Amino acid sequence: MIRLGLTGGIGAGKSTVARALTELGGIVVDADRIAREVVEPGTPGLAALVEAFGEQILSADGALNRPALAAKAFADDEQRAKLNSITHPLVAARTAELVEQAPGDAIVVQDIPLIVENQMAPFFHLVAVVGTDETIRLDRLTRIRGMDEQDARARIRAQASDEQRRAVADVWIDNSGDEEITREAVRRLWDERLVPFERNTRERIAVSGPVALADADPAWAAAGARLVNRLWALCGEKATAIDHIGSTAVPGLAAKPVLDIQICVAEMGVADALVDVLADGGFPRRTGVDHDEPKPDPRSGVTDPAVWVKRLHGSADPGRPANVHLRVAGSPGAVFAVAFRDRLRADSRFREDYLALKRQAEDTAGGDIDRYLEVKEPWFDQAYAAIAASLSDPERGPH
C-alpha cells in the first residue's frame, strides 16, 4: 500500500482529480467528508461541540449549524484551538480506520485541502498538488459556486501560496485547461508512477537510476528536502541526523539524477530495526551492501573495517531514484559524507576536479554502476585523506 496526499487551493479543481483517481482504482479518503461525518447528529463529536460551545450551534432539526459554530469558534485563537482539539482527533481516528481497512495493495488517496498549512506532507509516500492560475480559480468560485469576489479572494489569500505548495509537491497537476487534459495527466501519473510505486513498495524493490550524468537541476535541492523530511517522519528519534549529501546536494554540479540521503544512527542495531519501517515508507533495503570501502585513519594509518559499516536503502518510487545511506553517527564514513559535500560546495577547483573524474568514470563505465564506482574509488582515497586530515587539524584547512 502507498498513500498519496492530494491537495490544492480552493477552486483549483481537486475534486476533478480525485474523481479521476477513483475511476482508476484509487481509494479516496476525503478529509472534508470525514469532518462532516464525525459531527453528524447523534455522534460523540457533535455532543462534544455542544458541550463546548452551547446549544446555539444547533439548527432546529438538531444538526450542526455551521455558521453559528464558526461565529463562536473563530472569535479568537483560544476558541479555535478548542474546536480543533475536539474535531482533529476524531477526523484523524476515522481517517486511520479507513486507511486500515484498505487492501494491502491499495493506492490510498487522502484528499486533504490543508496538507501544506498543517505540515502533513512528510507523512505521505507522495504529495500531488492540483494547481490552477488564480484568475481561473476566481472565475470558478464566483461564476460556478456563486461566491462574492471579495470573499473568494480572501479565501485564496488565507491558504498557502503556490510557492509553498510547490515546495512540498512531488507531483504538480496543472488543472488550468480542458478537463480531459487534466484527466490524461492523472492517467499517466497512475500508470507510470503510482502503480509501479505501490508494487515496488509491497515487493521491496528499489529502482535503479541512470548511470549517466545530467546537467545540474535546481529542483534537486527541493526534492532532497522532501526526502529528508519524509525520512524524519519515518525514523523519528531513532535518527540523530538526516542530510542530503552527494552531488545533487551541490548547486551547479552535474550529477547522476539520483538523490543521496544520509541517516545517522547511534549504532547499526538501530539501522537494522528500521528496515521494515523504511521499506513500508517506500525505501526498501538494497541487500549485499553492508559497508563503505574502508580507508586508513589519516593519523595512525590503520584501516579498521568495523568503523565503516553501513546499510543502504533505495527508493521504490520510479519517479525519484535515491540512495539512503545509514551510518553510525560520528563514524568516518558519516563525517566524510557531509564534509565532502561541504568541500564541493565551497571549493570550485575541487568541484571541477571531481566533475572531470565523474566524466571519466561515465565514459569508462558504459552504464555499469559497479565499474563507475571502481573508477572513482582511487580518487576518493586521496580526497578522504585530505579532508580527514583537515578535519583533525582545522588550521591546515582544505588543500
- Asked whether residue 288 is marked as a ligand-binding residue, the answer is no
CB 186 within 8 A of CB 17: yes
Helix, strand, coil distribution of the chain in percent, nearest 5 = 55, 15, 30
Which grid cell is 214? Answer: 545530467
- Asked whether residue 314 is marked as a ligand-binding residue, the answer is no
In whole angstroms, what is the distance from residue 387 CA to residue 337 CA? 10
How many CB atoms within 10 Å of residue 129? 28
CB 17 within 8 A of CB 127: no
Write down the residue that cell numbers 521499506 correspond to: 279
CB 49 within 8 A of CB 86: yes
At 100, which amino acid appears?
E
- Asked whether residue 12 is marked as a ligand-binding residue, the answer is yes
In whole angstroms, what is the distance from residue 28 CA to residue 37 CA? 15
- Asked whether residue 14 is marked as a ligand-binding residue, the answer is yes
- Asked whether residue 16 is marked as a ligand-binding residue, the answer is yes
- Asked whether residue 8 is marked as a ligand-binding residue, the answer is no
Write down the residue that cell numbers 526534492 correspond to: 223
Which grid cell is 376? Answer: 572513482
In whole angstroms, what is the distance from residue 102 CA to residue 109 CA? 11
Taking each helix axis from N to C end, the angle separating 348-365 and 369-392, rounded to the nearest 10 degrees, works out to: 160
Task: Please name which of 108, 91, 90, 156 lies closest in space to residue 5, comparing C-alpha atoms.
Answer: 108
* Residue stretches of the annotated binding site for ATP: 11-16
* Residue stretches of the annotated binding site: 11-16
